[in-house]
Structures are given as structure tokens and as C-alpha cells.
Structure 1
């Protein structure tokens, strides 16, 4: 990991408006904190961490880590993220397919949790372990009786026991972990604000490590993500007045950690519109087309108004002409 990536992590962990996730397509833990929320921050030469009363995150520095900044299309806006990736072999975790006891969680972010027992849920992802941490000995004894079985197996009471116990959720990769201390919401409820987890068995069956819209290079796996403050959305995904400083900050991240071809496409569009050039042919691959649309939407969100921009939007992104708030979750596309 080079100095630029270390600097990125130090800046991000200290920014309460930056959000984080760790997991796979179909199972993810998210960490965020409020600006005025008490937090224990650590920024060292080999790790960063943040712990609140609702949850925590720790990310280790690794020289093999590759930071990849990218943007993707949503219904009427765009997402932005930075993936922290490792080569597949280096990022491999347990890939367990059944409930498995792992023992006391000696790496817990809080000393008070280190005697509690970790159970891997056995969700089978190659690059992340999805665990619950049990502090009650009776509950741990009950779960042990169902070790070796798939948690979603018909007739298996393990998940019912877990939901009743409301344990901490601990999602772990080779680059770190996210811990969630907040209660698990009921099946009919919505996730709480702040740290929380999602487990969606149907999506897990795809076997994907990330959404198809995210350009992770072949042979690499995302071991964590960070989400710098979005210029047009707040932390809950609601529309907010466009913030040029936030936009410029992430465009600097794209320039440093993104795909140069993606950035070049965006700049060609921006330069063409600045020069009042009518729509013209552009690269036709999936990510290239997305780059064109994102550049147009960002110009529109920044308040650029011109007949030329309208013509480009009409040709390349009619949906971008709409003004309705984007309903897409910023972190799940």
C-alpha cells in the first residue's frame, strides 16, 4: 500500500461524513457515524479504526491493497465509492458453507467483547466471513448443537436462536472488520440509521463478490469499501443542494485511484460541452457509456444550463433530464 492510500484511509476515518461497508453481493455490513457522536478514533502507521456505541470499523494497511475509485449510474443520479481490493488469493477467507464456531473473538474492537464467541454463519463468500458474536453462554451452547448445518436449511432453528439473541454482527475480511452493536430489526422493520447489516439469501446465490456495475479488475476482490461524501445526496441518500467541494474532492480521488480511460471519457464529454460541440460518437462499452451519462448528470447537478447539454442528455441519457429524487441506495447498486 503506497503513501497515497494510507493518506486516503487516514482522511476517511477522520471524516464523519464518510461511510464504509464490508461484505459481498447479498451480505454487507455498513458503518457510519454522526458528526456529534462520541467516537474513539485511531490512526497509526499500520491501521485505522473508529468505534462508537453503535458499532465500529477497523482497516489494516496492507502493501498489496489496491484502492479503486469508481462511479456508477443510479435511476436518476450516480453513486461513488472507493473499493479496497486484494488479489483473489491474498483476499481469501474461510468460505465456510455451514455454521461454524470460531472461538473467542480476540480481535474484537472493544476489550469487553474479546471473551465472547464468534460463530461464522457459513454464507460461503470467498473473501469475507459473516459472523455473529455471542456473549451469553447458554445461547452459545444452543448454537453449538447446530454447528455443521447450513443456517438457512429447512428446519434449522439456528437463525431463530440468533434473531432472539440479537448478538453483535461481525463481518471480517483480510483488510479488517465491521462490528454492529445495534439490534437486528424485525423482518417487517427497516434497518436502523448508523451501523447495520443486510443478508439477502437470494442475492448471495449469485456468487458475485460485487455488483456488475462496479469495475473491479479480474483476479481481484473488494475487501472493504468507503463512500466519501456525495455532492448531491446526504448520508441517508436524500437529495441535497449540490456541493462543489465534495464533487471536486471525489474527482481528485478518481484521478488518483480510478480508471484512466473512464476519467478520459468524462473529460472528453465535459470539454465538448464547454466548447459548445453537438453530441458525437463516444466509446460503446458498458463502463464507457456509464461515464458519458455520469459526466452529463454531474454537469446538470452542478447547475450547468445550455442547449448543448440538453442535446447531449437527450441523445445519451434521457433519464438524466428528469428532476425527481433518486430512490437508489447510494451503497447498493
Structure 2
């Protein structure tokens, strides 16, 4: 029997141009972007038909936020998938990485005034004052920007102090004034103009561009989530989140989208971790051949185990689009992905660490 798998995982003869892909993604309302580290993230997303106020190669600005990417020859793309804590779902992304030696930014530990933001994406913002928040992160300067004299005065009075110092008025002033938040990495910058999630937003981040600043995660001192399989020696400096085949922009469930699934599998074939791609292909071939789960040599290691579980979940979701599910898929799920079979809550490999 010729194996039939949910998508072609054969690497293309010529990998796609990652910068051309990035340019297209900046105009795709289904895609999102994030720049930052583990615990400090700025995200850019746009609605269908949302007008651009600034637009150009690798640049996009709307009334709610903006992003600009910096083309570099030493950028290394890495496509990845992780297991979701929600049954029958998974997460995906394309990390734009730099070698560790090229990924560093100034690591300021205290609030620091940087002066007028001459590099602002919108010309109207270039006289506003930029302050580094002093988060001491390896690949990102996380900043606030304001033209509000009262906020600027408060921040200038607290320059040289940690934002998290007891009694420091800077953070309450920032939360009340909602200044622009700016994340700057060696691969670009993301600017968020919307309000900070809090009492004025119902306690949640608003749809579209927004930021997350989570001191508990910052304390881990990591450049990225442990679930994201970035190889040693590389640092993610921008993250593309292509349109998901299983979830919408606010994390809501959606009917399975075969075209989105196939599009990302092509990226995974070109830039995914080889052991992950190979494990998925091996699982799909075994399913197509009618093998029983007991005859399958289960892989060891976190990444191959994730590949096994996602291959099974994806087989189940692909079946929703028309082709029947492989015979025995339920037994495979019960053997290797009890949560995907609807019998468990999240465990070690399913916990999503989102900043």
C-alpha cells in the first residue's frame, strides 16, 4: 500500500525566500508577529481590511500598532510545532533566529532615558521620548514611549531605579497613562499603541497589537519558551505566527482549514527540526500501512514525542476535511496521546508557556 499522509513533508528542492514570505505575512490578516523574550513580548496583528498608515518592504503600521523587520543575511529560519494543552490542537510558528553572538542588545537593568525615538516607524512619533524599562533581556530592549509631559516627568524622576522596586511610582504611572510600548531586537521593532491590559480593558489584552510583561517569567532568564525547539547557539529575534488551521486570532476554535495546514507543512519541510519532521512522516506512514500501535517503536526525547502526538492529532483533524481517518487511529491516540483521545489534562509536554 502506498502511504498516504495528511500533507507532503518532502523538503522542496529550493527552500522559499524567508524575506519574501515575511513581506507577504505582514499583509496577511491571518498571520501575527511577536518580538521579545520569555516574559516580555510585543505582538502585532491586523484585522481583515484594516488600513495601513505606513507600508513598505518589511514595514506595516496601523492605527493600533506597527512592525518593521530588518533584513539580515545571517538570519536562520526555524519552523516549529508544539503540543497544545487543548485536545486536538497544536501550536505552530516560524522563528527568525540569529547566531547567539549576533543577537545581543544593550542589557539595561534600570529605567533609562534614551531620548527622542528617531527610529519610530511613524514620523509623528519621532519626537516622543523613549525609555528603556530596564528588563535586562538578552535579545530585546523593551521600552515605553511618550509625549505626555506628566508621564515623562515621573519617569525622569525614577531613572536609574528598577521598575519593580517597592514604592517606585514609575510602573503605576505607566499603567495609568498607557504609553506606546516598543520591543527592539536585532531583527526589527514592534510598536504597540493600544492600551495596556488592565481595568480599562476588562483585565485582558485588547484584540490586535498588545504586549505581555510577566515578571514571573522574566525571572527565568530565558530567551524563549522551553517548548520552542530552538537549537543551541541560535536566539529567536522575531516570531511569525502563520494563520493556524485549528484556531483563530484570539485563540478560539475554528473548523479545520486544510490549506493553512498544507502551507505550514511546506515550511516545516523546509525549515523544521529534521528529527521532528522525520518522526511525523514515520508515524503517518505507519498509520497508512495499517500498523498497530504496539508494533510501532515509540521515539524517546521531548521533540520526537511531540512529533508523534501532533502527527496523530493532525491525522484526526485532516479527517474532518473529507478523507477518512486512518483505521485504528483511536487506538494510536489512546496509546500515545491520551489527552488527544480526551482522557487526560495537560502534562509535561503539553504546557504552553506564553508570554
Normalising by structure 2, what TM-score?
A: 0.88
Matched, 1:249 2:263: yes
1:95 Cα shift? 1.3
Task: Please give the secondary structure, in 2, of the residue aligned with 1:142.
Answer: helix
Contact 1:262/1:287 (8 A) holds in 2: yes
Matched, 1:170 2:186: no
Of 260, 264, 268, the match for 2:274 = 260
Of 73, 81, 85, the match for 1:71 = 81
Cα distance in 2, alignment partners of residues 148 and 3 from structure 1? 46
Cα distance in 1, alignment partners of residues 329 and 72 from structure 2? 43
Matched, 1:103 2:115: yes
Of 87, 95, 98, the match for 2:99 = 87
Task: Please give the secondary structure, in 2, of the residue aligned with 1:214.
Answer: coil
1:43 Cα shift? 4.3
Matched, 1:150 2:172: no
Q: 1:186 to 1:203 in 2, by over 3 A?
A: same
Could you report, residue by residue, the CA deviation over 1:194-253 in whole angstroms, capped at 9, with x for unpaired residues? 000010101100001111111111111111101101111111111111111000000001
Task: Please give the secondary structure, in 1, of the residue aligned with 2:339.
Answer: helix
Cα distance in 1, alignment partners of residues 107 and 211 from structure 2? 19
Structure 1 runs of 4+ with >2 Å offset: 40-44, 304-307, 328-333
Cα distance in 2, alignment partners of residues 101 and 191 from structure 1? 26
Of 229, 247, 255, the match for 1:215 = 229
1:185 Cα shift? 2.5
Matched, 1:319 2:304: no
* Aligned pairs, number: 328
Matched, 1:23 2:33: no
Alignment of 1:183-202 (within 5 A): 183-186=195-198, 189-202=203-216
Could you report, residue by residue, the CA deviation over 1:80-131 in whole angstroms, capped at 9, with x for unpaired residues? 0001111122110111110001111011111000000100001111100110
1:314 Cα shift? 1.0
1:4 Cα shift? 1.4
Cα distance in 2, alignment partners of residues 316 and 261 from structure 1? 18
Moved more, 130-139 or 60-69: 130-139
Cα distance in 1, alignment partners of residues 34 and 144 from structure 2? 17
Match of 2:10 in 1: none
Contact 1:79/1:331 (8 A) holds in 2: no
Match of 1:61 in 2: 71
Cα distance in 2, alignment partners of residues 39 and 175 from structure 1? 21
Contact 1:14/1:41 (8 A) holds in 2: no
Structure 1 unaligned blocks of 5 or more: none
Cα distance in 1, alignment partners of residues 219 and 29 from structure 2? 34
Could you report, residue by residue, the CA deviation over 1:16-36 in whole angstroms, capped at 9, with x for unpaired residues? 110011111111111100002
Cα distance in 1, alignment partners of residues 48 and 59 from structure 2? 16
Task: Please give the secondary structure, in 2, of the residue aligned with 1:320.
Answer: coil
Could you report, residue by residue, the CA deviation over 1:40-63 in whole angstroms, capped at 9, with x for unpaired residues? 46443xxx0111100011111100
Q: 1:191 to 1:309 in 2, by over 3 A?
A: same
Of 29, 33, 48, the match for 1:35 = 48
